[in-house]
Amino acid sequence: MCPVSIDQKQTDPPSRYTIDCGADPFIPDGFSLVEHIGSGLFEWDPASPRVSLYFPKLDASGRFIEKEEVLKGVGKLCLLNANMLDLLLASPFLYPEEWKKETYGHYTFICFWGTTYRNGGVDYIRSLYYNGESLRQHLHRLDRGFDANSPIAVMSDCPRWEECHR
């Protein structure tokens, strides 16, 4: 789990959280770490979270597959990693309400592309989804593609984000 410091001046819930996104991430059993894009300290203020969802352009079949294509649209520096996922999993009250909505009648899987794992020669990323009662995590194989139910969690105040959304 990532180190999280809480603003101790406030009572429950804290006014802000500082996540060390550059810290070593949690690695699921049987997996190895391929890439962890550490974005240093990230301050999460539930009143103004600085996080957005990026919906990559889809191909004719309604899917996007290549990580490189996703990175062209967002840039590595904007991607949130598994340390942010672990904070949200441990503190579900921070999970934005708009992320709980279903997309096209299916769960919306919020993908954290800043950390990539490998198992059996296949690369994976972790995601979170709300099943109507609680948050759940999921491992997505990168070789199987993604669809409109799988937006990417990004830092919305990242310079690259502003550049690609003008």
- The tens digit of pLDDT for each residue in 62-88 reads 666 566 666 666 666 678 899 999 999
Supply the pLDDT for residue 68: 65
Domain boundaries, the chain: 4-164
- Percent of the chain having pLDDT more than 70? 70
pLDDT > 60? residue 165? no
pLDDT mean over 114-140: 94
- Report how far residue 29's alpha carbon sits from residue 89's, in angstroms, rounded to the nearest whole number: 17
pLDDT mean over 46-63: 73
pLDDT > 50? residue 113? yes
CB 137 within 8 A of CB 89: yes
- Report how far residue 133's alpha carbon sits from residue 100's, in angstroms, rounded to the nearest whole number: 10
pLDDT tens, residue by residue, 29-40 = 999 999 998 768
